[in-house]
Amino acid sequence: MLPDDLLSCSVAGALVVPHFLGEHDHPWLRALLEEHERFIGRPQRELEARLREPLPCESPPKKLRLAIQVLGRLRPSHRKTAVPPRRARALVFGEAARWPALPQTILSVVAASLGVTPEDLRDSLFGDLPSERLVGAPLQPLSAVELALRCNLALVQALLFRATIVRIEVEGNTRALVRQAKWRGLICSGIERSGTADATLELSGPFALFRNTRLYGRALGELVPPLTWCPRFRLRAECVFHGRRLTLQLRTGDPIFPASAPRRYDSHLEERFAREFRRLAPAWDVLLEPEPITAGGTLIFPDFALQHRSDLGRRWLLEIVGFWTPDYVARKLALYRSARLSNLILCIDEGRNCAEADLPAGALVVRFRRRVDAAGVLRMVETTHCPR
């Protein structure tokens, strides 16, 4: 995480405003990338020494340090030595302790025993240290635009590191966001559907009641990459900077590097069902991540909606209760019971041992073993009246 002195931002009233790197920064970012390019194959320490000096074009000092830090994380390095460095150290320093002689003499003696030159041996001594490793080319070509976006992501995450609570209005990809939050131990509360947004999520760590913690600040920061895949979002975070409470705001279109695309399915089980159902039922659409359902003060996310193409009133929500813990199944079923849905299909793994009494009233139930029977589900939706 970035240290305080790399946080390129300003305070305006009660807001903390990140100074995003943009088009105006591209010239010096290009110069930075060119400098890096020039040092490929040379020791890291030489590059570091060069980067302590100004670039050929003007560059804002704080943003430059941020970019150097981010670039450093993306920069691979490797070593190439005549003798494995650890072996070289063991032999040379052991020999030096054994008898009093000039360093050059000791290097010559050890080098001769290894069949290399004293210069090669000297270079090998610390060839594996970070400063001595050779600068490598990035794994994929890196443009000034991408570097700027990656810097912005690092900046935003570092600001959220100081956050106590985050409120996000979000449209699309909500499920992935909630999953990520829960996986990191955050509490999703005050969840509701509002306006045009699919949901408004309030996310915070358990300790937020008392103070901000770095542990959950980090978890809040990790929400940003999946957030960038939401078609629309608006984020407000309450952060603490040097004892002062400030608000950070982000929204769709902010220049932040996106995470890799989220997985479309939670499991192979779901993926297989969707594939088979699409093949068997050309008259039906299988919609991933349908609208969330409000239940028990929270939101639940059915796995699929099955939508008839010509009769929009025939719409079923489908949940696959697969490889979950008994506690999780119990909580999930309780939520579905409280939601009182009349168009719900529950596909339940027989291994879950769900009693009939635990199932939501009115839900259609398909029991399965290993794979969900897509044909069975199709028969069910074709033959059952769908309440509107």
Partner 1 sequence: MKLRFDRGTILLTDPPQDLNLTEAPGLLWDPRVHAHRAPASRYTALKRWLLEGGVRFQDVTPPLRPIAEAWSDVDLRPYQEAALSAWELGHHRGVIALPTGSGKTRLALAAMHRTQLSALCLVPTRVLLDQWLREIRVVYGGAVGCYGDGMRQLAPLTVATFESAYRHMDQFGDRFGLLIVDEVHHFGGGLRDEALEMTVADARLGLTATPPRDAGAAACLAELVGPTVFELAVADLAGGFLASLDAITLYLDLTPEERSAYTSLAAVFNGVYTDFCRMAPEASWADFTRHSTRTAEGRRALSAWRQMRRLLFFTHAKRRALESLLGRHRNSRVLIFTADNETAYAIAREHLVMPLTCDIGRQERDDVLERFRRGDIRTLVSARVLNEGLDVPDADVAVIVGGALGEREHVQRVGRLLRPSEGKRAVVYELVTRNTIEVGQARRRRQGLVTRRSAQL
Beta strands in the chain (DSSP E): 9-12, 15-18, 77-78, 134-135, 163-171, 187-194, 197-204, 232-241, 244-251, 284-288, 293-295, 298-300, 304-308, 315-321, 344-349, 364-368
Distance CA 201, CA 165 (A): 10
Start-to-end CA span in the chain (Å): 51
- Our CA dihedral for 353, 357, 359, 363, rounded to 10 degrees, sits at 130
**196 token code pair:** 């045009």
Considering only residues 48 to 67 of the shown chain, the ones binding partner 1 according to CB under 8 A are: 61
CB-nearer residue toward partner 1: 93 or 328: 93
CB atoms within 10 A of CB 367: 15
194 binds partner 1 (CB under 8 A): no
Exactly one of 41, 185, 313, 351 binds partner 1 (CB under 8 A); that residue is: 185
130 binds partner 1 (CB under 8 A): yes
For residue 350, the cross-strand partners are none
* Coil vs helix vs strand at 147: helix
Q: How many residues bind partner 1 (CB under 8 A)?
A: 35
Question: Per-residue string for binding with partner 1, 15-54, x by CB under 8 A?
Answer: ----------------------------------------
Q: How far is CA 293 from the centre of its chain?
A: 25
Contact yes or no for 231/197 (Cβ under 8 A): no
* Burial class of 58 by CB neighbour count within 10 A (0 to 12, 13 to 18, 19+): exposed
* Coil vs helix vs strand at 368: strand
215 binds partner 1 (CB under 8 A): yes
Considering only residues 262 to 291 of the shown chain, the ones binding partner 1 according to CB under 8 A are: none
**Please, what is the angle between helix 268-280 and helix 374-383, to 10°?**
50
182 binds partner 1 (CB under 8 A): no
Which residue is it, tokens 């769908």?
386
375 binds partner 1 (CB under 8 A): no
Distance CA 282, CA 68 (A): 53
CB-nearer residue toward partner 1: 103 or 351: 103
- Minimal distance, residue 129 CB to partner 1, in Å: 5
296 binds partner 1 (CB under 8 A): no
Which residue type, as a one-letter code, is found at position 288? L
190 binds partner 1 (CB under 8 A): yes
Exactly one of 57, 112, 129, 288 binds partner 1 (CB under 8 A); that residue is: 129
376 binds partner 1 (CB under 8 A): no
Q: How far is CA 213 from the centre of its chain?
A: 19
126 binds partner 1 (CB under 8 A): yes
The region of 210-218, 279-287, 321-329, 340-348 touching partner 1 under the rule CB under 8 A is: 210-218
Exactly one of 10, 113, 189, 342 binds partner 1 (CB under 8 A); that residue is: 189
- Minimal distance, residue 111 CB to partner 1, in Å: 13
CB-nearer residue toward partner 1: 178 or 348: 178
Question: Per-residue string for binding with partner 1, 74-113, x by CB under 8 A?
Answer: ------------x--xx-xxx-xx--x--x--xx------
206 binds partner 1 (CB under 8 A): yes
- Minimal distance, residue 33 CB to partner 1, in Å: 24
Residues that bind partner 1 (CB under 8 A): 5, 61, 86, 89-90, 92-94, 96-97, 100, 103, 106-107, 122, 125-126, 128-131, 185, 187, 189-190, 202, 204-207, 209-210, 213-215
